[in-house]
Each structure stands twice: as C-alpha cells, then as structure tokens.
Amino acid sequence: MSDVEREEARPGRVYPWYVLAVLVLVYVLNFIDRQIVVILAERIKADLHVTDAQLGFLYGTVFAVFFAVFAIPLGRLADAWDRRRLIAWGTAFWSLMTALSGLARGFGPLALARLGVGAGEASAAPAAYSLLSDWFPRERRGAVLGIFSSGIFIGAGLGLGIGGFIVDRWDAAFPAGTAPLDLHGWQAAFLVVGLPGLALALWVRTLREPPRGGFGAPPVALHPRPFRLFLGEMAAVIPPFTLVTLARAGAGSAGLAFNVGAAALLAAAAWSLTRVLGTAVQWIALAAGLYAVFSWAQGLRLKSRADFDLVFCNPPLVLSNIGIGLVTFGTYSTSLWIAPFFLRVHHLDIAKVGLLLGGMLAAGGWLGATLGGILADAWHRKNPRGRVYVSVLTAALALPLGFIFLNLRSSTAALLLSFPVAILTGLWIGPAASTVQELVPPRLRATASAVYILHTTFLGLALGPYAVGRLSIFTGDLKSAMLLALPVQGLAAVLLFLAARRIPGRDTFSS
C-alpha cells in the first residue's frame, strides 16, 4: 500500500472506537468462558469428586499451559497474517470448546475441553493488542488497551453472575435425575455461555485491518507465507518436532544436546515435585509447557538473533514481564478462590455470591482497567517510565488491601471492600500491555505480547491458583492459604520498580 493509498484508507474518528467496542465484546466473552469455572467450582468439586489442588489445576495449569504455548505461534501468525480472521477463528473455536465442557462427565474430559478453551483463547490478546496499537496513536495506547482489558473484569463479573444464576435456577427446576440429558446446573452453564461466541466470531470477521505500524508509519513488509511460518512455529513448540526444527535452524549437535538436557532437567524437576507434592498432572503439564517455550526461544535465537534480543534480552521488558507475572500470581489466585472464600468463610449462598460479587468485580475491574490506562498515559506524557510506575503502585497497594480484605469478619464489609480490590486488580493491565508495545518495534508487537502473556500465564495462572489450592489442603483453611500468597506482591513491586529505572528517558520506538 502506497503512502497516498494509506492516507486515503485512513478511517474517520469513530471507526477505531467501533473496532475497540467489538474487541471489548470479544474479551468479555473470552473471560466469561474462562472465569465461569470460578462460580461453578464448588459444584464441579462435589459432582466430579475433585480436590482443591485439582480445581487449581483445572482453572489454572491445564488452561494456562496450552494458552501460553499456543500464544507463541498464534502471536507470530498475528504479526504475519490478517489479525481479524485470526481473532474470529479463535473466538469460534474456544466458544465451541466451552460448550463441550458442558458435556463432560468426568474430570479428564472436562480438563481436555478446558485445554481446548486455552488454545483457542490464545488467539485473542496478542492480535488485539497489535490491531488496536495500529488503529490508535501512541499517546492513547494506555487508555485504549486499558479499555480493551476492562473486558476481563466485565466478563469475569458476568461469568460469576450468569453462572450462579443458571446453576441456582437449573437445580431448582430439575431435581436430581430429572434434567434433560441428565445435565447438572454447572454443565448447563457451560453450554449457555459457549454458544453465543459463534455469532460474535462472524461479527469480528467484518472489521477492517489497519496498516502495520499505523496510518502515519512507513509500510511494514509481511511474511510472504504466513501459514508456513505458523506451522514452523507450531513445530518449534511441539515435541519431538522441536528437535527437527532446531536441526533445520542450524542448532548443531551442541544445540540439540542443550535442548535435550533442558528437557531432562525439567522432567527431573516434575518428577521431584510430584514425589513431594503429588498432583503429577500439574507438574507434567507445567514442565511440558516450559520445555515448549524453551525450545521456541532457542529456535528464535538461531533464526533471528535480533528479534530474540529485542524480546528476551531487553532488560526493562524482561523485568516488567516477570514483575507483572508475579502480580498475576495474586490476581489469578484471587479470581479463582474469592467465590469459594465467600462460600466457605462467610457462608453465603451461590446465587448471592454470583450476583453481588460478580457485580462488584465487573464494575470495579472495569473502572480500574480504564482509570489505570488513563493514569498511565497522563504519567507517560510527563515521564516515559510513568506506565510502569502505575504497575509498581498496584503491586505495592495489593499487600495491605488484601490483608484487610481477608481478615474482615463482616460479610457485608468484605463484599463492599471487594470493589476497591477489583479496582486495584485492573489498574495495571493497560499500563503493562502498552509498555510491551512501546519497547519493541511494530513488526514484533504481537510476538512480544505473546511472550508477555507467557509470563502472566506460567507465573500467574499456572502457579497461583494451584499454589493456593495446595496451601489450602496443607493448612486446612482457604483464608490462611490466600494470606500466605500475598507477599509475592512485594517482590513484584521491587522488580517493576527496577524495570522502570531501566526504561530510557525517551520513547524507544516512536510509531
């Protein structure tokens, strides 16, 4: 596309906001389908006879590993192909897998369905971050990505409310053994929230694709064979094709031996953790996911050392990614266990928790994500480190607020305090996502976003909910387990502060 054609194709002021609105709906549905497990957890536990650790695995690890691993090739595909189509196909796939979750009759089939949800949902965020960064100017990215990310909390809140409502009404309408297809309330909830995504996928397909880097930037050459690239990236993360991919990339015998050694080390770690903590599937899945990421990174270094260095050897980006990953250790733990916390500790009924807590989380999270993006942009105009400072503030405040929230004896007070907790939970998202976009060139934005998501999924989603579940079993008390997880936020604040100090005093990439 020539410069003249690019200018002629520039949309009006309204259209980018229309794109943002549609993508917010995608993210809302994304998190309804992901978070509905939270309100259904107690019923799933009772019907399928699973432990808290297995619930943490079901919500966190099995979803996170496949979400993170598929985010890599899908992020690379988003940098090389039509981002609208990628989001549309992903939306249709994860919605179908959510509906299939409602047909599961055991822990294994349900885990497999959630695996599919994770793989499908990996298509949304990297492509959407890249797409929106091209539709909007640099000075608005924090606010725009904050608004987009507010869909997390709207979806999470709606998931609680819808899930609790459906379970309550379904079980009241159909006593044991009388429901259609002998479905339980939690199974009906999965079916109800999954199927609408198929229609939304068609809507996403009608959006327009902006030029890479935005309308005022020089043209960016796309990969001539995007699906060959995608298949190559898939081979780079799926054993044993990882070794073939590395050999073709010129790893040599030393590189292949290094890869096999890493696999052996991860396998030994998984075996040791299983001997000590049990839940073999947790550690096997986590080790497999980490090996896939390691193999992909090793291959990227061979194929493009410059790209590898920009993503993995960029000090402010690496520190920010690890810091945000630790922030999400707390946020994902809270996301899963907050509803069981009110059910077990405050002894509220499931419909009340779904309605009141869901509303608090949706409103508070939306407000936090939106305000966080606006604050980040305002701070960034005065200081290029301002966006990361918002994340530092979030992590630092999480410790005292979380301690107060968990120790309140009044159910009413705890529900009311869940609103500022939700605000804080959303405050960092827009700043963190826009920081990633600023620290890499436009051609790597989706890839860098995928690596950012790797940190939030492995450190946050895969470990956080499971760790609290294990601590709950060890201490015999969910509240104590959640309190023990709080100090991680202090380490996150330190790492994010160090990341901020390493950001240059000017914008690294201007487009």
pLDDT at 320 over 90: yes
Q: Is residue 470 part of a domain?
A: yes
Confidence of residue 220 (pLDDT cuts 50, 70, 90): low
Burial class (CB in 10 A: 0-12, 13-18, 19+), 271: middle
Confidence of residue 269 (pLDDT cuts 50, 70, 90): very high
Q: Is residue 9 part of a domain?
A: no
Helices (H), 236-251: 241-248
For the chain, how long is the longest CA-to-CA vector? Answer: 67
For 286, phi and psi rounded to 5 degrees? Answer: -65, -40
Per the document, the length of the chain is 511
pLDDT at residue number 2: 46
Strands (E), 237-380: none
What is the average per-residue pLDDT within 156-165?
80
pLDDT at 508 over 60: no
Q: Is residue 43 part of a domain?
A: yes
pLDDT at residue number 503: 87
Long-range contacts of 393-396 (CB under 8 A, 24+ apart): 393/427, 394/327, 394/424, 394/427, 394/428, 395/323, 395/326, 395/327, 395/428, 395/489, 395/490, 395/492, 395/493, 395/496, 396/489, 396/490, 396/493
Confidence of residue 6 (pLDDT cuts 50, 70, 90): very low
pLDDT at residue number 506: 59
pLDDT at residue number 3: 46
Q: Is residue 509 part of a domain?
A: no
Minimum mean pLDDT range among 158-162, 207-211, 264-268, 305-309 = 158-162
pLDDT at 496 over 90: yes
Q: What's the CATH number where 304 sits?
A: 1.20.1250.20
Please, what is the average pLDDT of the chain? 85
Structural domain of residue 83, as residue ranges?
Answer: 14-208+224-501
* Model pLDDT for residues 441-474, shown as the tens digit of each residue: 877 887 888 788 888 888 887 888 888 988 988 8
Q: Is residue 159 part of a domain?
A: yes
This prediction has a pTM of 0.74
Residue that is written with structure tokens 């827009």 in the block: 430
Q: Is residue 82 part of a domain?
A: yes
Domain tally, the chain: 1
The CA-atom distances, in angstroms, between 198 and each of 55, 121, 357, 476 are 27, 13, 28, 42
Q: Token pair for residue 305?
A: 């050392």
Q: Is residue 481 part of a domain?
A: yes
Confidence of residue 138 (pLDDT cuts 50, 70, 90): confident
**Percent over 90 (pLDDT), the chain:** 29
Burial class (CB in 10 A: 0-12, 13-18, 19+), 341: buried
pLDDT at 339 over 90: no
Q: Is residue 264 part of a domain?
A: yes
- Which amino acid is it at 503? I
What is the average per-residue pLDDT within 322-340?
87
